[in-house]
Structure 1
Amino acid sequence: MDRPPDRIRTPDQRLRVFVSSTLKELAAERKSARTAIERLHLAPVMFELGARPHPPRSLYRAYLEQSDVFVGLYWNRYGWVAPGEEVSGLEDEYNLAPALPKLIYIREPADEREPRLTELLDRIRTDDGASFKYFANARELGRLIESDLATLLAERFDQSREDRPAAQQVDAAAEPVGSTLPAPLTPLIGRESEVDDVERMLRMPAIRMLTLTGPGGIGKSRLAIAAAERVGDEYTGGVTFVDLAPVREASLVVNAIAAALGVRDTGDAPLADKVVMAVRNRRLLLILDNVEQVLDAAPVFTTLLAAAPALTLLLTSRSLVRVSAERSFPVGPLELPQAGATASLDELRSTAAVALFVERVHAVKPDFELTESNAAAVVGICAALDGVPLAIELAAARIRSLSPATMLERLDRRLPLLVGGMRDRPERQQTLRRTIEWSTELLDAPERELLATLGVFAGGFFLEAAEAVADGSDGDVVTRLGNLVDNSLVREDDRDGFSHFSMLATVREYALEQLETDGRLDAVLERHVEYYIDLGRSIELELEGGRQRALVMRLAADKENLRAAERYLLDRSDWERAAEFAWTLYIYWWVGGLLGEVRGWMDEVLDADDPLTDRSRAIALYFTRAITFWQDPDGLVVGGLTESAELFRTVHEPGGEALARVSLALAQLAAEQPDVARADEQLEISLALFRQSGDLWGESMALVTLGRVGLFQNRVHGACNRFEESLAIARGQHDELGECIALHHLGWARLLLGELDVASGCFEQSLSIAARLAHDDGVAYGLEGLVAVAASTGRIARAGRLLGAAERLREESGLYNAPAFSFHQRLVDGIEAGPAAEQFATARSEGRLLTIGEAIGEALSEAVV
């Protein structure tokens, strides 16, 4: 039956709002629109991968058919026109929604708006069924959408209520019906908060269909049963569990439900009608387990909900059903011990993943205990298995033949190890391989091919990377990736407005095996490496400018892939590309605290027996010498940096030569007998080279180092001038790293001049920037600068707490051996030799208990904004 065009359903029935826009230019606006829609407790209809530039027509047609309001967002781009089509997806979405109320929002000012979009907007302005407004930014858009939707709903609610058929009345006097819940054989471990959340949602009258989503083996069914046990007393019509795992045809779902409810199929009436009759007057909780393979049965679920006002459906599925009444609850892995943290045995035992492992081990080895000697291995096993309950249970089953340490050692090949699960498990769950294979049976061939291809990614990936690495595959990568997300084989999360994807380690290993079996592994690995090499080249200069922070955060999310790409090149003795790739991402390695790892890579390059190009050797020498400029017992640093600079000159790369000379100057300053004159000479050459090549970032770094020479020579005012010049350049380039460095140095110069308030402001600003960049070294330096300010003004407790926090940060981040360009130690020595030494020591110990975030907050608590 067609829905009347003027009807709007009330919010508790989940009015659905379709959002149409282009992807990349309006990503922030889409996010704001979604927030506004959800704030009204409505359902935004947006593609699960975020906005898609060219979704298949059938997909967005299906979404539009289920929607109640159309929201259009437009700016400059018209969108992609698919082969064989006459209009873009953007215009087609508008054309396919003639009967929906339309709220149109146009961003101004426009910058080179495409002609076809201008034509579309002219047509929209003449559409009596559409209202349109202009907006300037994402925040304003969110306010407009929220206000307009609320007004629209209010205007149409009364008419909707008049049209609505009388609701079926629930028989409140119905006798309670017995539960058909399976009786769990083991306790539920580590899901207390999730059970609470699901229970709370099941008690909300507005939620009548709740789907627990997650990959196979994550514990969806067990969670559903536990939550149902909690709320069972409220369902006077009973709680019924329906196992759909054996059902492979949507048409047979009614039969399964009927069997679970005790409805007989006598043939005298359609079975579906009998089921409706059986549930329509009951306050019933119906649990439908393993729905993913029968998603086409969605009309059955909606029919039941419409016929039975007191019915609630609780589903478990690897995919959402995608009907208007559905609310989702993603089920994630179990809690793992915090990486790098020191925990007692009691704390480890209370961590969900470890607790599950120990409990399941007791089933096969009752005398097993978590001890100091095996705790690290047990934690490692749980972490290696991503906290996935099924994986942990399968691992625990092997404890009879493998000690935790041996098991952990062998977990680099997870899938072959994890066999032999409990015989009362469904067959598909007796090994992880079977679990994953069972999941992939639901995919078509191109989707399985894409899943295998994605196995080359380490630690997650962005959409653009997936499209590049899957190059040459048949079909639309975006759509197929969406299906993998829907089937819980790939996980999606939001990273600063971008969709980021990942796979459980066990799924990734399975995917890689399939890739190798197909004979495609080498080709896909090469595409993976080429993508990241091209990425490095394309953003090398941008890392020095206004996009620095965003790019650093983006690269941090791709850190494991960057490592994998470099490792691939080194393992194949591809020294030239290995050096080039490392060089393009120099700023990221620095900010991310990964230069030590890069040094190890470049040691491999230098140790190779193969001849190196001049440029590759120059890069490798730089990375292996520049980061150890303060320790040169054998004279290798100065010699290596000198050679690096000369090689960069030979290949006509002035920026590389200038950077090598800056590091050479630092090495000369850090020598046991500082050679200030030669350092100054190197820096003047460097500054000239940077200026000749127009490298403002390099010029800023050279100026900072020249200022350091000035401090060595006790020319503090001259040093201040250099630091101010560097700061001005960094700010002009929106270079946050350069600004952080210049401010820190300027703070010390001002402190030496006795300008404590100015120095404090410089350190505070530097610390704030370092925190935004997640630059641990910069954070430690900022804390140490503020230690000096506090010590200079007699605030002993503050100085001690900040010093303790800085020391802990340096120790935990591996920065404690780095030379601190800081004068705080002499002030600390003075306090420790004085009457406040005990107070200082106590505060220092307290500071070591602070997290990084707490320390930064305390350090900036006195900042004047």
Structure 2
Amino acid sequence: MSPVAGGIRTPDQRLRVFVSSTLKELAPERRAARAAIERLALAPVMFELGARPHPPRELYRAYLEQSDIFVGVYWEQYGWIAPGEEMSGLEDEWNLAPEIPKLIYLKRSDHRQDRLDELLERIRDDDDASYVAFTDAAELADLVTADLATLLAERFDAAGGRHAPLGEPAAEVFSTEPVRPPSPLTRLVGREGELATVTRMLTDDAQRLVTVTGPGGIGKSRLAVAAARAVEAMFPDGVVFVDLAPVLDAGLVITAVANALGIRDTGDRPLAEQLAGALGRRRLLLVLDNVEQVVEAAPEFSALLAASAASVLATSRILLRVRGEQNVPLGPLPSPEAAELFAERARAVKPDFELTDDNAAQVVAICGALDNVPLALELAAARLRVLTPAALIERLDHALPLLVGGARDLPERQRTLRATIDWSAQLLSDPERELLLRLGVFRAGFGLDAVEWMWDGLGGADAVEALGALVDGSLVREQDRGSRAWFTMLATVREYGRDRLAERGQLAESQERHADFYVGLAVAAGASATWQGQVEGITRLLDEHDEVRAAVDHLFAMRRFDAVAEIAWSLYTFWWGGGRSGELLTWMDRLLEPGVELSERARVLAEYCRNSIRYWSTSDESIVPTMLRCVDYFRRGGDCRGEALALASLAVAQFAQEPPDLDGMEESARRSLELAEEYDIAFGGAMAGVMIGRVRLAQGRADDAVRRFETSLTVARGIGDTLGQAIALSHLGWAHLLAAEPHRARECFGEQLLLASTIGHE
């Protein structure tokens, strides 16, 4: 039945809007049109909303007769022509449309079918039809909403609506146009996997809150915009972008969201309630960018989701920590993609720049020095206007002053990397920010005990809670190393911390604190009463070699020479067993230079560490007398462990003489074995026993040597001593080789190499 002018409509008899288009090629557009119609509380009339057991022509004729508005959406296809018919249903719908308002929307294309062009020509000549072009489903939804609203207003006025004379236009509190996501001017590089993950989550109705987290400059906003555009067809009510960076008060977040949606605060009820009502059951995606500084408003986001059908894609340096949140953490780019991004951004300022065999290694080095962070790479690439890649590398030791001058359309906080990091740091409490700066003195990473040491004296919450805030803020990254939690910082964040400490005159104090931690760690590892205990403590330091090196560098700078000697002595097995004896030798040479003031103990320790390395490469006659002085020092001090270790090294030095002092070697080895067994039988069997086996081998008693080495190997295996096993296997392999048993020697050497590789003994 056709509408009757002036008739009274019951609540279910809304104005009906007939939508005409091809079905398959314009499926996203049909969804967008339907959402726009329902947004105005009108009734869409579409085949897919209710199948009927009638022939198609009868069905759409009946639908048309009951409709109040005709909406035609056209693209490239003319539509299917049924057998026996002369035209498609698309054209027939236009011909059968009654004298009702007609809104025509044409999707832009250069490949339209001829018969569709002919139909469109007819439509253009019809003075009763409104005609406009569009690009995508989102734009169509905006056009249909605006045109229907205008049409209804015009018809109301034409029907005799009475209006009081209008005064000055009232100022709009908010824009009536929703804020669309920005259109990126550059392509997204190296984030294909993360993009696929985010889009998959957003298209899952069960996952309506997705948060992309990561440090400043990592590319969170760029990924979110790309993901929003990739899924916009799945959100017929549109995608709205809300930039929360300027919002510093969590109480204003709902206002910012309403502003972006074009919802004005009427004042008659809470704005959050108005916002939830406006969203209703609409399928809409809210992109909330830069949530970190207003994260206290997260419960309001959660309530908004619970009261509507909207979805939220948030970017934040910290998690929102509300129910239903799905997190996608964003880390640095893989190295190949980082180099690709650097080269692409370099071409923006230097069009002739190309990655070549000559500069590829330099570009990779630049990217690595900047931790493959996208913003850092973009800022560095901009410097190629005036610097070559080689010159840029030379300046990256102090990267932050170099990484300035980003694109003018970037937010101010992203124009320099220092400002980006400072933005994150300002979100921390004072003690948390101080801890961040102190941790900047670490070169590579740190464990929880190191954090607690650096936290001492800051007060407030405990160190674990403060560290959690840094991890949540994406300023510190956590990873597991076996049973230990291990934490790292981006190089630029570390530099930021050091620079801020230096500005306040506190850098040396934090470096001193760092050095004291590793002196204590080294002494504790070396003070273990058993050989295996030392190995366990020293194994950890293999992971933290860079930090030990940083500590030693600081101790030298502060002229704390005795502390350097203590680290060297306590970690002698670390330096030797880890294949780092060359570095140790360099430091000991510095300690023993003329004019360096050392205590007697420090000088003995330095001489021992130095000469126990030198006997492998030189037959210097001073080595044996020096080792004898070390043995005497430890004996006088009642240090059995020190005396046993010095005697074992003396035995090796005596063996290395020309000619070898076999008798002296055997005597030193036996005394070492006797002393060692007083405090650690395993150490005596696994280490000092090898020395006696070497004497037997030098005496030509290969069978006795093999038995001694096999005994040492058995003892080492029994206590799980990897280094002791490797030493015993090495000697056993040589013994088999000298006994003309190459196959058995090969087995020993093969196992020895495998074991040595597991403890980093290169």
> TM-score, normalised to structure 1's length?
0.63
Alpha-carbon spacing, 1:268–1:393, altered in 2? closer, same or farther (3 Å): same
Alpha-carbon spacing, 1:236–1:411, altered in 2? closer, same or farther (3 Å): same
Match of 1:494 among 456, 471, 480: 480
Match of 2:703 among 717, 726, 738: 717
Stretch deviating more after TM superposition (753-762 or 434-443): 753-762
Post-superposition shift, 1:205? 4.0
Alpha-carbon spacing, 1:628–1:191, altered in 2? closer, same or farther (3 Å): farther
Post-superposition shift, 1:645? 3.8
Secondary structure of the residue that 1:362 maps to in structure 2?
A: helix
Post-superposition shift, 1:605? 0.6
Aligned counterpart, 2:237: 237
Post-superposition shift, 1:427? 0.3
Aligned counterpart, 1:320: 319
Contact 1:548 1:735 (8 Å CA) reproduced: no
Deviations 1:158-215 (A, max 9, x none): xxxxxxxxxxxxxxx9997469221111122222222233333334444221111111
Match of 2:555 among 545, 548, 569: 569
Aligned counterpart, 1:332: 331
Alpha-carbon spacing, 1:366–1:534, altered in 2? closer, same or farther (3 Å): same
Pick the structure with greater CA Rg.
Answer: 2
Contact 2:211 2:314 (8 Å CA) reproduced: yes
Alpha-carbon spacing, 1:361–1:672, altered in 2? closer, same or farther (3 Å): farther
Contact 2:608 2:630 (8 Å CA) reproduced: yes
Contact 1:617 1:644 (8 Å CA) reproduced: no
Alpha-carbon spacing, 1:406–1:635, altered in 2? closer, same or farther (3 Å): farther
Match of 1:482 among 452, 468, 491: 468
Aligned counterpart, 1:266: 266
Match of 2:652 among 666, 671, 676: 666
Aligned counterpart, 1:255: 255
Aligned counterpart, 1:611: 597
Post-superposition shift, 1:696? 4.0
Instruction: Spell out the pairing of 1:448-527 with structure 2 (5 A cutoff).
Output: 448-475=433-460, 476-527=462-513
Aligned counterpart, 2:381: 396
Report the RMSD for the aligned CA atoms in angstroms: 2.9
Alpha-carbon spacing, 1:282–1:754, altered in 2? closer, same or farther (3 Å): farther
Letter in 2 for 1:323: V
Alpha-carbon spacing, 1:698–1:512, altered in 2? closer, same or farther (3 Å): farther
Letter in 2 for 1:306: A
Instruction: Spell out the pairing of 1:136-175 with structure 2 (5 A cutoff).
Output: none
Instruction: Spell out the pairing of 1:702-781 with structure 2 (5 A cutoff).
Output: 702-749=688-735, 766=752, 769-771=755-757, 773-777=758-762
Alpha-carbon spacing, 1:644–1:435, altered in 2? closer, same or farther (3 Å): same
Cα separation, 2, equivalents of 1:497 and 1:260: 47
Contact 2:713 2:729 (8 Å CA) reproduced: yes
Alpha-carbon spacing, 1:695–1:500, altered in 2? closer, same or farther (3 Å): same
Contact 1:258 1:275 (8 Å CA) reproduced: yes
Post-superposition shift, 1:736? 2.6
Deviations 1:341-397 (A, max 9, x none): xxxxxxxxxx12222221111111112233444433322221221111111111111
Aligned counterpart, 2:307: 307
Post-superposition shift, 1:317? 0.4
Contact 1:576 1:613 (8 Å CA) reproduced: yes
Cα separation, 2, equivalents of 1:473 and 1:614: 38
Cα separation, 2, equivalents of 1:684 and 1:677: 11
Contact 2:529 2:679 (8 Å CA) reproduced: no
Secondary structure of the residue that 2:486 maps to in structure 1?
A: strand
Contact 2:418 2:496 (8 Å CA) reproduced: yes
Secondary structure of the residue that 1:461 maps to in structure 2?
A: coil
Alpha-carbon spacing, 1:209–1:544, altered in 2? closer, same or farther (3 Å): farther
Deviations 1:100-140 (A, max 9, x none): xxxxxxxxxxxxxxxxxxxxxxxxxxxxxxxxxxxxxxxxx
Deviations 1:745-773 (A, max 9, x none): 335545666778876765565455445x3
Instruction: Spell out the pairing of 1:117-128 with structure 2 (5 A cutoff).
Output: none
Contact 1:570 1:604 (8 Å CA) reproduced: no
Match of 1:536 among 522, 545, 548: 522
Instruction: Spell out the pairing of 1:645-724 with structure 2 (5 A cutoff).
Output: 645-649=631-635, 651-670=637-656, 673-692=659-678, 694=680, 696-697=682-683, 699-724=685-710
Letter in 1 for 2:445: G
Cα separation, 1, equivalents of 2:455 and 2:502: 15
Letter in 2 for 1:262: G
Cα separation, 2, equivalents of 1:755 and 1:204: 67
Alpha-carbon spacing, 1:330–1:542, altered in 2? closer, same or farther (3 Å): farther
Letter in 2 for 1:488: S
Cα separation, 1, equivalents of 2:512 and 2:248: 39
Alpha-carbon spacing, 1:688–1:335, altered in 2? closer, same or farther (3 Å): same
Post-superposition shift, 1:527? 2.3
Cα separation, 1, equivalents of 2:511 and 2:710: 47
Alignment pair present for 1:382 and 2:370: no
Aligned counterpart, 2:282: 282
Post-superposition shift, 1:219? 0.7
Aligned counterpart, 1:557: 543
Contact 2:525 2:533 (8 Å CA) reproduced: no
Secondary structure of the residue that 1:416 maps to in structure 2?
A: coil
Post-superposition shift, 1:425? 0.8
Structure 2 unmatched ranges of 5 or more = 1-136, 143-178
Post-superposition shift, 1:225? 1.9
Deviations 1:134-167 (A, max 9, x none): xxxxxxxxxxxxxxxxxxxxxxxxxxxxxxxxxx
Secondary structure of the residue that 1:313 maps to in structure 2?
A: strand
The 4+ residue runs of structure 1 with deviation greater than 6 A are 173-176, 754-761
Deviations 1:499-556 (A, max 9, x none): 2222211111221222233333333322222222222222225495556675445323
Letter in 2 for 1:286: L
Alignment pair present for 1:442 and 2:417: no
Secondary structure of the residue that 1:627 maps to in structure 2?
A: helix
Secondary structure of the residue that 1:394 maps to in structure 2?
A: helix
Contact 1:242 1:286 (8 Å CA) reproduced: yes
Contact 2:655 2:661 (8 Å CA) reproduced: yes
Aligned counterpart, 1:16: none
Letter in 2 for 1:730: A
Cα separation, 2, equivalents of 1:533 and 1:695: 28
Stretch deviating more after TM superposition (486-495 or 628-637): 628-637
Deviations 1:406-456 (A, max 9, x none): 222122222222211111110011111211222222122222222222222
Post-superposition shift, 1:264? 3.0
Alpha-carbon spacing, 1:200–1:704, altered in 2? closer, same or farther (3 Å): farther
Instruction: Spell out the pairing of 1:92-131 with structure 2 (5 A cutoff).
Output: none
Letter in 1 for 2:724: G
Cα separation, 1, equivalents of 2:529 and 2:325: 43
Cα separation, 2, equivalents of 1:438 and 1:305: 28
Cα separation, 1, equivalents of 2:328 and 2:204: 14
Cα separation, 2, equivalents of 1:278 and 1:438: 34
Cα separation, 1, equivalents of 2:407 and 2:672: 68
Aligned counterpart, 1:198: 198
Alpha-carbon spacing, 1:198–1:766, altered in 2? closer, same or farther (3 Å): farther
Structure 1 unmatched ranges of 5 or more = 1-172, 337-350, 778-865
Alignment pair present for 1:411 and 2:385: no
> TM-score, normalised to structure 2's length?
0.71
Cα separation, 1, equivalents of 2:529 and 2:276: 62
Cα separation, 2, equivalents of 1:551 and 1:278: 63
Secondary structure of the residue that 2:592 maps to in structure 1?
A: helix
Alpha-carbon spacing, 1:232–1:637, altered in 2? closer, same or farther (3 Å): farther
